[in-house]
Chain A
């Protein structure tokens, strides 16, 4: 073995492998497992399972995902382009099955899964990877034509139906997919103004959400309950029983954490006050147990991860590799920012998980696949002598 490796080394130039990113992935995953254990053990026991039930499940999938990641990272990323067509077909089929047929499995009143009750996965996670892959392939193929309106329309025709199917299933994944496409297009295109304008509209929408929503209700564009969500967001303490419950419980957790936190495992809000604390609201438990110190650390680690993505994308051998990494980078950034924004009540409540840390098998598996792709791009970077 050593001999053949040595031979290869002579023939091929020295390759880069981003061990910093690998370490960050391992750290976040293990930290996530610890936090899942801390936040879920009480509820698991109440429901008659062992305290480590959720942690074990997540751990097995993360381990399998890690192996998959390592394998993928050793494959030349150009090979992935061959799966573009297949992944689009599978994505459409899965989304149609989960949205419109009885095959979709409902858990906690949300019909988001395919498979059986025991072995099931969320097709929306697959769609995220698909969108990254497809856009990277298409943009690379188009070359300079990407700046033409015709190409934009074509990409819209390719992505929007899928995004719509996902949005029907759950709004937050739809937002993430649109966000990924937005970022990838922003980087690929020479034009700036359409993106700046879109960002400006979003910022306005964010700042003037309440008056806009009220106007929309008046002309019948929005339903009363949607306006209610906005009202809850603006003042959760006024709605402690109804819509504001989860957010308010999250704020209690964050606020009571203080600077240094109550200590690992000492959260009280996880004792069923926060429903399913191992899911979307796990960041609130991190804040409660580890304090501002822990929360800042987690955010900085994510920022470091994104920094690594930036480096890999900037040094990628070609545009396709760079776009793959940019897609993943967009995915992770959007999800981290939106999740923490929801938990801290900066934006209205939508169910977005925190990558690597929140409980969710499909999510961690596809994240590992994405990481594999990024590592694979990093592995194609030739180090100069």
Chain B
């Protein structure tokens, strides 16, 4: 064995000292980290450990006037993955793709993302969620959550509206009363581990969620359902594109029913009802937006003969015409250089104002309009509230499209007199007609009656503006009489019911461009004629075959009235 030399010993000592110096350096670094950087890293660590978890607040229910629930919440599941806990990513991806019907790439991206928690899909049916939970995959979380549920599927779909992925209102009452319905999410502030699992016994701050308010609306499920049934029947029978029905209390503006057939399924609002072709997702979105439109308030149309109610009321109010004034109808009227036809080619001959109204005779109303003159007519148009909006509590109400007063000549005046060359919404027509027959009170049509919290500590009854003196009580009474006669013996005969006094007015509007020969048949009716408690308007868009409002629209209202009047106790 070789000798063990002094230089060996010396070098061993050197090695030891170098080691000691290096360790001292590390101690220095540790001291720096643990004393001077301690606060910095502690704060960052706390940020990492504290987790704010939201507790979703239940969205308020919507109930009809009788307390029937028409929009509520159902338990659904949110599927998410916790990256650190996933053991078999391939199995997880495969199962989630299969069960949730998502593309492989989409799921893969989320599963492989290094985040504390990645949501794969929300609003998954409880059954699907339970099935996924049944696989017992590590790292896959199935959390239960609320989802909006509409027990009547498609009923009043365009009125109620629906909610999106975050339970926020998207259209209709859901968005209009979002602030009442939404509620306040609660939070839990906890310490948690990297997997998002809460640390036991750690102090937690908890803020309870506040459920949304229950919204009571004026809709009546029975009336709505019956009106929908009637609308679908006539739509099918006449091969019409769409049928809308509004049923309202003309005294206070509470809407009992608003039908826009075809309705769509609120529990599946992103599936098109009609089988239309679409190429891109943008095209699909356009079709969806079209499907979600509430034609009663979002779209305008030429009201046609139903508008003669307004012309008549203006004429009576201004005193330029009375019931027994005589007119003659040769089948047309020449205004300036224009020859405007009556719907009856041979003309109605000699007739009183009342008979003219019963016959829905265009020349009679042209004359009334001409007697009023542009200034006066425009004044009444404005006075009745036709230039503004009704103020209904639904989003996206369309404004009236009307001639500017300065551009309005006698020809325009003549066409406006019998409801052509301008456009209003069906809701506007119903509201204006209501104010004429209810004694001159311009009411605000509305759905929401009250919002209240579950424990009744918060109750808000909604009030709506009423403008009185739109027409005199006398004019109102005369109008009720005229419109009752229209149904009793005039063009609206088919709306008559033996046991009730019903008033109303028919209309057949020719859609633009006139060359297409497409029509909107409509009928506006109310009952009882002497003291109106309910007013209804039906519009049938593009019926095939016979298109006269008096023939196809009036019987539908008669049918609805026959059923709902006893129900309403009238």
Contacts and interface: CB of A to CB of B under 8 A. Distances in A.
A joins B in a complex: yes
Interface of A: 42, 46, 140, 142-144, 183, 186-188, 190, 241, 245, 251-259, 268-269, 271-273, 275, 287, 291-292, 295-296, 299, 302-303, 306-307, 310, 313-314, 316-320, 322, 326, 329-330, 333, 336-337, 340-341, 344, 346
6 contacts: A144-B2, A257-B34, A273-B48, A299-B23, A318-B1, A319-B5
A268 B23 contact: no
Contact of B12 (A142, A251, A295, A314): A314
Contacts of B4: 316-319, 322
Contacts of A299: 23, 26-27, 30
B84 interface: yes
Given A341-B26, A344-B33, A346-B29, A190 B45 contact: no
A319 B1 contact: yes
A258 B42 contact: yes
B23 A322 contact: no
B195 A344 contact: no
Contacts of B464: none
A241 B114 contact: yes
Contacts of B9: 314
A188 B15 contact: no
Contacts of B42: 255-256, 258
B3 to A, nearest CB: 7
Contact of B30 (A187, A296, A320): A296
Given A273-B194, A322-B8, A303 B20 contact: yes
Interface string B48-65: 110000000000000000
A306 B37 contact: no
A268 B197 CA distance: 12
Interface in B1-27: 1-5, 7-9, 11-13, 15-16, 19-20, 22-23, 25-27
B286 interface: no
A292 B40 contact: no
B191 interface: yes
Contacts of A188: 8
A186 B194 CA distance: 46
B1 A320 contact: yes
B44 interface: yes
B30 A344 contact: yes
Contacts of B37: 251, 255
Given A291-B34, A292-B30, A337-B26, A190 B19 contact: no
Nearest to B199: A271
Contact of B3 (A287, A314, A319, A333): A319
Given A257-B38, A316-B4, 18 more contacts: A46-B195, A142-B2, A186-B11, A187-B8, A252-B48, A255-B45, A256-B45, A258-B42, A271-B197, A271-B199, A287-B34, A292-B35, A310-B12, A310-B16, A319-B4, A322-B8, A326-B12, A337-B22
A183 B11 CA distance: 10
A256 B41 contact: yes
B23 A183 contact: no
B33 A183 contact: no
A341 B22 CA distance: 10
A42 B193 contact: yes
Nearest to A302: B23
A235 B144 CA distance: 41
A260 B137 CA distance: 41
B31 interface: yes
Given A292-B34, A337-B19, A344-B30, A272 B114 contact: no
A259 B194 CA distance: 25
Given A190-B7, A241-B114, A299-B27, A313 B12 contact: yes
Contact of B19 (A316, A318, A333): A333
Contacts of A310: 12-13, 15-16
A295 B34 contact: yes
Nearest to A307: B16
B193 A271 contact: yes
9 A-B pairs with the lowest CB-CB distances in the bound complex, closest first: A255-B41, A271-B193, A272-B194, A143-B2, A252-B45, A273-B194, A256-B42, A292-B34, A187-B11
- Which of B9, B33, B191 has the most chain A CB atoms inside 10 A of its CB? B33
Nearest to A139: B2
B38 A330 contact: no
B23 A255 contact: no
Contact of B49 (A255, A268, A296, A330): A268
B16 A306 contact: yes
A244 to B, nearest CB: 12
A252 B44 contact: yes
A6 to B, nearest CB: 31
A143 B4 CA distance: 10
Contacts of A296: 27, 30
